[in-house]
Structure 1
Amino acid sequence: MKKLIIFSVLLVLLVALLPTPGLQISAETTNVGAPDDDWLHVENGYIVDKYGNKVWLTGANWFGFNCREMMLLDSYHSDIIADIQIVADKGINVVRLPIATDLLYSWSKGIYPMSTDTSYNNPILAGLNSFELFNLMLENFKKVGIKVILDVHSPETDNMGHNHPLWYKGEITEEIFKAAWVWVANYYKNDDTIIGFDLKNEPHTNTGTLKFKSQSAIWDDSDHKNNWKRVAQETALEILKVHPNVLIFVEGVEMYPKDGKWDDESFDTSPWTGTNDYYGNWWGGNLRGVRDYPIDLGKYQSQLVYSPHDYGPIVYEQSWFAGDFVTASDEEAKKILYEQCWRDNWAYIMEEGISPLLLGEWGGITEGNHKLLDLNLKYLRCIRDFILENKYKLHHTFWCINIDSADTGGLFTRDEGTPFPGGRDLKWNDNKYDNYLLPVLWKNEEGKFQGLDHEIPLGKNGVPLPKGTSPVTPTKTPVTPTPTSTPTPTPSNVIKGDINGDGEINSIDYAILKSYLLGLTKNLPAEDELAVADLNGDKEINSIDYALLKMYLLGMIKDFS
């Protein structure tokens, strides 16, 4: 109990260190987990935890911070904290959270735009700006055991911003795109609620059948400004320099030349006048270029996961949904989809052990009278079964939780479904969930939903990840406890916590360390910075050390063991 109390206080102190506007926190549960225990990486074609145990990311998308409202849009209709609770209770262990570059960049500059006011449904949100609201959502995800993948969905906060094909637009340059990501990485590097960054949603080409290289995302080894492979690789490396523990998700493009050479300034994709020398797929879903030009992250390669998107015919009537697919059985239809789309666009990447995959978006309409509904349901059954057949290699986030998606519908609905406390006029879409998402959610042998947190259970119906006994890639060096009640001198007679080297540990040391962590000073006075300031022995100087020093000065701990 003593350890739990001390650790809870430590977390409070960590929050106090962060230069964040006032933050309100609310959730029915009082779970508190370690801030850096759940980082993931890739080994032998699988995503694994710090102990080398395979994990399966099975989640859903929840958009709104990419929109002009700058919030989860279901706040309009319901108690958003209750919404988070039911999402966890239904076994969704990760939420892919779309956001816009301009909002992240504003936050990095200390500018916090106001989100749309939904305090009439959510009194707790009254007066919160977008940054405070975002952090409140993160805190409540953490409390119910949900992890987050942050996804830059568009350059600008715009409800239709995803239609823009590139990562830069207007004042949002490539440099700003990179800078925003590096800021996010640095700000959240000590909080494993956000376990991954999806660098850019659905890079694609310009609209129309006549495609222009100057307006479209390409994939090759050139220095072209629209080379998504180059920009993704460079951005990932900059991120990983400041946050080496985060997973990096890289989506594909839309078109890829059949000869692998982007030597056309324009090309015609019309079925009547086109030259048929480019492969097409869903926006972000074409990863054929990985075979010719793979992402190279050097020593950080274990943090890379490729991420295609895939949909059914109601979103767009692709060629593989015609012909034999129409009358095929489910098994035959799945083979058609695999051979005409999935295998060569992205499935080969997991099959050949190049990387695991995150199917970042899939889903679709499951009710109504749309003329293509039956084909759409056949597609959903096929992709669901393919995901299950490739468990642990093919991770996924379903599109979407929101009620607001016109061409897919959501897990929230106003039609037939089950009401839930706090949902007000929202219901849970049992048909969509039970038949398509539930079968591919991660469960343990007892049928409990499996979370991705080592301490916090996933909602009311789930369990935390088991802890291993010998981490494969330990993030901390074990520290031998000292039997004394005073800080332990190092072999060089340097005292841990004595930041300025005057032989005492006091408020001056505290102030110097704070200034250093906030970037106001670049170096500490001590000759051996780690010896005096790495108080928990993890070979880093960070906010955990700051919190420990504060606890020591307040008399809450007697040493740094």
Structure 2
Amino acid sequence: MKKFVVLSIALIMIATLLMVPGVQTSAETSYTALAEPDDDWLHVEGTDIVDKYGNKVWITGANWFGFNCRERMLLDSYHSDIIADIEMVADKGINVVRMPIATDLLYAWSRGEYPPSTDTSFNNPALAGLNSYELFNFMLENFKRVGIKVILDVHSAQTDNQGHTYPLWYNGTITEEIFKKAWVWVAEHYKNDDTIIGFDLKNEPHTNTGNVKIKAESAIWDDSNHPNNWKRVAQETALAILEVHPNVLIFVEGIEMYPKDGIWDDETFDTSPWTGNNDYYGNWWGGNLRGVKDYPINLGKYQSQLVYSPHDYGPLVYEQEWFKGDFITANDEEAKRILYEECWRDNWAFIMEDGISPLLIGEWGGLTEGGDKLLDLNLKYLRSMRDYILENKFKLHHTFWCINIDSADTGGLFTRDEGTPFPGGRDLKWNDNKYDNYLYPVLWKTDDGKFIGLDHKIPLGKNGISISELSDNPTSKPTTKPTPIPTPTAVSPTPSKGAVMYGDINRDGKVTSTDITVLRRYLMGTITDIDREAADVNLSGTVTSTDLTILKRYVIRIITELPLK
């Protein structure tokens, strides 16, 4: 049954590329052949996320929901040609899409059950008859085609448009065991396809509603075996995933409340400003990572795959205390300082500042138009977060909420109001105000404005480049290396073994940073003609990324002899 489904999907993909309007198949298309399946995995070095060659990357994306909902699809298919939408998103420079999904849907797929998706073939003929599994893979193939990567996010236990409001990762028939099994199945199933570069284990663990919080109904963070200990469950789930898929990034969100003494010894506690005892720190759902100081996630040999991921919003989502008082009259710089000191620093910014991990702001954003009395404060918040992200480029990654037109309390990059129509959008427009002023400034771009994707082969949309193109771009190179490489200067070659000049990979009689570039391109598969014997600078018998690291160290004079014995 599974083999049949995979074959069906492959045939559907081929047919779709031939029949869908807007999908070109000629040699002139700006969308090249599909990416290599296994060359774009990322990992963490200090507070940077880097590619397999050690180049720093910046994840600058947006959220696109629907597979977590009853419809089991990207909801904008209702309104438009979804292929045109995906191409528009790539052309606008969004290099990652965070895709919410539900545990029960993943678990069904793992058992060979494929619940239907809502039929939107009236706008998308190519989607006619596809079940949820086929449709999901169809979306992955189209993201791959335009150079977009995916972070898969378990948004809720059950496919429900309001499922994210439930505070925990288990609910009803979805147990902790099923939660873990579903994730391990996903890891095994997609471990050879680097379109999905990361897993966000659970969206926004939080407490029960109301002022009186009940520990038995709320996510906590400590070193206990409590069933609601999110730190324990996240760590155990991550380790189980990484045993079968050691290349994937693991994103762990925070919780909502954290005890000021770090000890969860209350079965209930009152957070009311009038009747409560004020002994817990509160924050956004998923935004409280204070527990990392006391109880950090420990993935052992897989620690380099861990990224912490808070969420943060403005006053139009909820008027938190830090949006009151001095924030109201503060200028932008002062507003940013208030947010940092009253919320960001102690809830999550310390994680990157203390060198623990890079961060991904998994959700931020909000309404940018309308007549709400808090709109001006919301725009001030958005400017503050935008500027803070930019100030912490490469340490602070983000996925904006959201692309969809369907988010009531934030709006989306798609709109029906003021904006720019686009081919295939039908009744959707692109929200220029939201994009130009808040998202565009914090997208990864070259100095001349080209968007930078995370694929080594496929450029990001019509207006972008791939990482491999960036690596060969002298003006951009310093921003993508953990260690800057100086202007090429000849290094006196050390005594060679026989007639081999180790490090002289391009055979020009010198060992320079040009050889570094040549070796990098060889490892990425973009060239094949090098002196392989000279490239094997550690005498291992093969040419690998280890040789690239050694050559870098030699050229910048950290080591003085080649080969490295």
2:9 counterpart residue number: 22
TM-score (ref. length: structure 2): 0.80
Query: Secondary structure of 1:256's partner?
Result: strand
Q: Within 2, Cα distance between the matches of 1:347 and 1:16?
A: 46
2:64 and 2:404 in contact (8 A); partners too: yes
Is 1:374 equivalent to 2:376 in the alignment?
yes
Shift of 1:33: 1.2
Alignment of 1:461-500 (within 5 A): 461-466=463-468
1:172 counterpart residue number: 174
1:210 counterpart residue number: 212
Distance 1:269 1:96, change over 3 A: same
Alignment of 1:343-354 (within 5 A): 343-354=345-356
2:307 and 2:358 in contact (8 A); partners too: yes
Query: Secondary structure of 1:279's partner?
Result: strand
CA-to-partner distance for each residue in 1:36-90, whole Å, 9 max, x for gaps? 0000000021000001000000000000000000000000000000000000000
Counterpart code for 1:79: D
Identity %, equivalent residues: 78
Query: Secondary structure of 2:56's partner?
Result: coil
Counterpart code for 2:104: D
2:359 and 2:397 in contact (8 A); partners too: yes
1:511 counterpart residue number: none
2:264 counterpart residue number: 262
Distance 1:381 1:480, change over 3 A: closer
Shift of 1:105: 0.2
CA-to-partner distance for each residue in 1:125-175, whole Å, 9 max, x for gaps? 000000000000000000000000000000000000000000000000000
1:51 and 1:469 in contact (8 A); partners too: no
Query: Secondary structure of 2:447's partner?
Result: coil
Aligned length: 467
Shift of 1:270: 0.1
- Match among 32, 56, 59 for residue 57 of structure 1: 59
1:416 and 1:429 in contact (8 A); partners too: yes
Is 1:235 equivalent to 2:237 in the alignment?
yes
Q: Within 2, Cα distance between the matches of 1:48 and 1:106?
A: 34
2:115 counterpart residue number: 113
Q: Within 2, Cα distance between the matches of 1:475 and 1:302?
A: 22
2:304 counterpart residue number: 302
Q: Within 1, Cα distance between the matches of 2:199 and 2:33?
A: 24
5+ residue gaps, structure 2, are 18-22, 25-30, 472-516, 531-543, 546-565
5+ residue gaps, structure 1, are 1-14, 482-536, 539-561
2:456 and 2:524 in contact (8 A); partners too: no
Q: Within 1, Cα distance between the matches of 2:446 and 2:280?
A: 43
Q: Within 2, Cα distance between the matches of 1:193 and 1:248?
A: 15
Q: Within 2, Cα distance between the matches of 1:135 and 1:19?
A: 9
Alignment of 1:15-164 (within 5 A): 19=6, 21-23=8-10, 24-25=12-13, 26=17, 27-28=23-24, 29-164=31-166
Q: Within 2, Cα distance between the matches of 1:470 and 1:349?
A: 35
Of the structure 1 ranges 288-297 and 30-39, higher mean CA displacement relative to structure 2 is found in 30-39
Of the structure 1 ranges 400-409 and 30-39, higher mean CA displacement relative to structure 2 is found in 30-39
Query: Secondary structure of 1:22's partner?
Result: helix
Query: Secondary structure of 1:192's partner?
Result: coil
2:404 counterpart residue number: 402
Is 1:288 equivalent to 2:290 in the alignment?
yes
CA-to-partner distance for each residue in 1:217-240, whole Å, 9 max, x for gaps? 000000000000000000000000
Q: Within 1, Cα distance between the matches of 2:451 and 2:47?
A: 23
- Match among 441, 458, 465 for residue 443 of structure 2: 441
Query: Secondary structure of 2:274's partner?
Result: coil
1:88 and 1:145 in contact (8 A); partners too: yes
CA-to-partner distance for each residue in 1:226-256, whole Å, 9 max, x for gaps? 0000000000000000000000000000000
Distance 1:237 1:475, change over 3 A: farther
Q: Within 2, Cα distance between the matches of 1:329 and 1:17?
A: 60
Distance 1:259 1:446, change over 3 A: same
Q: Within 2, Cα distance between the matches of 1:475 and 1:368?
A: 48
2:9 and 2:137 in contact (8 A); partners too: no
2:192 counterpart residue number: 190
Is 1:219 equivalent to 2:221 in the alignment?
yes
TM-score (ref. length: structure 1): 0.81
1:392 counterpart residue number: 394
2:288 and 2:348 in contact (8 A); partners too: yes
Q: Within 2, Cα distance between the matches of 1:480 and 1:445?
A: 31
Counterpart code for 1:22: I
1:458 counterpart residue number: 460
Q: Within 1, Cα distance between the matches of 2:524 and 2:105?
A: 31
1:204 and 1:217 in contact (8 A); partners too: yes
Query: Secondary structure of 2:9's partner?
Result: coil
Distance 1:446 1:258, change over 3 A: same
Q: Within 2, Cα distance between the matches of 1:104 and 1:272?
A: 43
Shift of 1:445: 2.3
1:212 and 1:266 in contact (8 A); partners too: yes
RMSD, aligned α-carbons: 2.2
Distance 1:21 1:274, change over 3 A: farther
